[in-house]
Structure 1
Amino acid sequence: MSIQSEIDDLWQRYQDDALSVTTAGSEELATLDAFLEALEGGEVRAAEQTGGSGPDGWEVNEWVKRGILLNFGLRETEGREHGDVTYYDVLPLRETADLGERGTRNTPDGTVIRRGAYLGRDCIMMSPSFVNVGAHVGDGTLVDSCDTVGSCAQIGENVKLGANTLIGGVLEPVEDAPVIVEDDVSLGAGCRVTSGFHVGENTVVGENTLLSPRIPVYDLVEEEVLYGHLPANRRAFTRYVESSIGDHDLFAGGAFKPAVVALDIEEETLDKTRREEALRE
């Protein structure tokens, strides 16, 4: 049986109440361990790029998200040791001996990688930072200080996550797409990308920008308003636009709501990003 068919079988038994945390034995836990190893090795992913750039070019692997949920549903919470700290979780932290072999660095005192997370070659994790189960971080990507990469998030190659950036996790519903940040994206410090938002390749996002499906993206290149997606090759930043509630008597001076404005990326912006990359090499 393939790992997918084994996870599908466990999921069906779990849904039928024929399997639980009290009845899961060594065979079931061995399947879950093999599944986590496949995630850490990049052999399976919560979502995969099957076509071109953009949301339509990605496919969600629902069975992978079910496998992650099974790890929470079929394992006991245990006390675990990390340095001088005892913490309680269903999963241990990821082993990191393989990272050095691939040129990936995680600085001491606060880089936390949970089991089932994948980091590619030549990545940098600055402390403190956290990568959750099911996340996939591509080659050459920088996870800066105070960054969080949520469960199942898909981060491309040569991405820069500025300091204090939050990449949200999407584990349930299993059919929903996770946050996807494609190759060669630069997110400024303090950005938030949540609720399955999709960032197209080769895009530069200004600091403190919130990218969420609930906030409109005014794409001035194609002259359209988008939700949940920032197209490729854009320079994006937050601005405020008039809100319909401004007609209310309480808002005598008008009311405004946040929006994201996307412009065609300029060569000058790309040059600055390339210079930063050169300093890291």
Structure 2
Amino acid sequence: MSVLRDDIEDLQHRYDDGLTADEVGEDERAILEEFLESLEAGEIRAAEKRGGEWEANGWVKEGILLNFGLRSIRTHTHGGVEYHDVLPLRETDDLPGRGTRNTPDGTVIRRGAYVGNDAILMSPAFVNIGAYVGDGTLVDSCDTVGSAAQIGDSVKLGANTLIGGVLEPVEAAPVVVEDDVSLGAGCRVTSGFVVGEGSVVGENTLLTPRIPVYDLVEEEVIYGELPPERRAFSRFVESSVGEHDLFDGGAYKPAVVATDVEAETLEATEREDTLRDN
């Protein structure tokens, strides 16, 4: 991929110097197409884990942005619906051969998105450019997987879940949901938040770097990530304006509480066994 990276970085320099969509020729278009094909094949990714930390691949995010800046808006037709965009939708004829299915009437996969093997995309769901959806993952009804978001293997995104996109600045890591995570219906994950492997997140939980995570396992308050193997849910804690006259009974701000997912599962199993025995 070193040649493709060099080509994208050269295009970026020329774009910064004033290259416009009207001036793009066959060679430049070929580079942009090769870049999108490489994203769709999973050969390049907007972010990767290195040394235990997720890092953005800045040149890949530059390539995504160049596919906006160096293309003109065109009229496209999909399923009899006319739309106007710089990019067409992704071809999906490779999906059935890999055991992946996307249901009709509203499942939208934009060009430059990777979808793994044995995945399921339910209508109406939207997967944006640069997103990576891993093997065996469920993208449920009304879900949005934002640009450059990285979703791992065997993930369950509950219905009406929003995974935010992070394209700029290019050095900023996108939203990451690691392997074996389950997000309940209505969850929102934004602004480069990382959901650790094997975690279970309750319905309607907002995960963003601006909201504290009270990790009861390590007994610390953290921001921007949910550690692996946690069970998380929303709670509200007292706000600094709690004593304001306008707030009868005090004001509260959102927080996320995280407990040990294995302990929670064991406790639930023990309760179930007790109920069955009695």
- TM-score band by shorter chain is over 0.9
Q: Deviations over 1:87-111 (max 9, x none)?
A: 0000000000111111001011111
Name the aligned partner's letter for residue 51 of structure 1.
Answer: G
Once residues 115 and 198 of structure 1 are traced to their aligned partners in structure 2, the CA distance between those partners, rounded to angstroms, is 24
Is residue 25 from structure 1 mapped to residue 21 from structure 2 by the alignment? no
Question: 1:275 corresponds to which residue?
Answer: none
Question: 2:46 corresponds to which residue?
Answer: 46
Once residues 249 and 221 of structure 1 are traced to their aligned partners in structure 2, the CA distance between those partners, rounded to angstroms, is 36
- 1:142/1:269 CA distance change after superposition, 3 Å: farther
- 1:92/1:271 CA distance change after superposition, 3 Å: farther
Larger radius of gyration: 2
Cα RMSD (Å): 1.4
Once residues 253 and 130 of structure 1 are traced to their aligned partners in structure 2, the CA distance between those partners, rounded to angstroms, is 41
- 1:270/1:48 CA distance change after superposition, 3 Å: farther
Q: Deviations over 1:123-163 (max 9, x none)?
A: 00011101000000010000000000000000000000000
Secondary structure of 1:63 counterpart: helix
Alpha-carbon shift at residue 63 of structure 1 (Å)? 0.2
Question: 1:2 corresponds to which residue?
Answer: 3
Q: Deviations over 1:228-256 (max 9, x none)?
A: 11000100000010000112222241100
Question: 2:80 corresponds to which residue?
Answer: 84
Alpha-carbon shift at residue 166 of structure 1 (Å)? 0.4
Question: 2:214 corresponds to which residue?
Answer: 218
Q: Once the two structures are aligned, what percentage of the paired residues are identical? A: 72
Question: 1:164 corresponds to which residue?
Answer: 160
Once residues 106 and 226 of structure 2 are traced to their aligned partners in structure 1, the CA distance between those partners, rounded to angstroms, is 31
Name the aligned partner's letter for residue 256 of structure 2.
Answer: V
Question: 1:278 corresponds to which residue?
Answer: none
TM-score of the pair, normalised by structure 2: 0.93
Once residues 267 and 149 of structure 2 are traced to their aligned partners in structure 1, the CA distance between those partners, rounded to angstroms, is 27
Question: 2:260 corresponds to which residue?
Answer: 264
Once residues 135 and 119 of structure 1 are traced to their aligned partners in structure 2, the CA distance between those partners, rounded to angstroms, is 8
Q: 2:231–2:264: 8 Å Cα contact kept in structure 1?
A: no
| Equivalent of residue 247 in structure 1, options 230, 239, 243 | 243
Once residues 149 and 166 of structure 2 are traced to their aligned partners in structure 1, the CA distance between those partners, rounded to angstroms, is 7
Q: How many residues align?
A: 267
Question: 1:236 corresponds to which residue?
Answer: 232
- 1:270/1:117 CA distance change after superposition, 3 Å: farther
Once residues 103 and 267 of structure 2 are traced to their aligned partners in structure 1, the CA distance between those partners, rounded to angstroms, is 28
Question: 2:124 corresponds to which residue?
Answer: 128
Question: 1:279 corresponds to which residue?
Answer: none
Name the aligned partner's letter for residue 64 of structure 2.
Answer: I
Is residue 37 from structure 1 mapped to residue 33 from structure 2 by the alignment? no
- 1:68/1:15 CA distance change after superposition, 3 Å: same
Once residues 197 and 61 of structure 1 are traced to their aligned partners in structure 2, the CA distance between those partners, rounded to angstroms, is 16
Once residues 41 and 160 of structure 1 are traced to their aligned partners in structure 2, the CA distance between those partners, rounded to angstroms, is 22
- Structure 1 unaligned spans of 5+: 273-281
| Equivalent of residue 112 in structure 1, options 103, 108, 111 | 108
- Structure 2 unaligned spans of 5+: 269-278
- 1:271/1:88 CA distance change after superposition, 3 Å: farther
Moved more, 30-39 or 258-267: 258-267
Q: Deviations over 1:103-123 (max 9, x none)?
A: 001011111000000001100
Once residues 128 and 266 of structure 2 are traced to their aligned partners in structure 1, the CA distance between those partners, rounded to angstroms, is 30
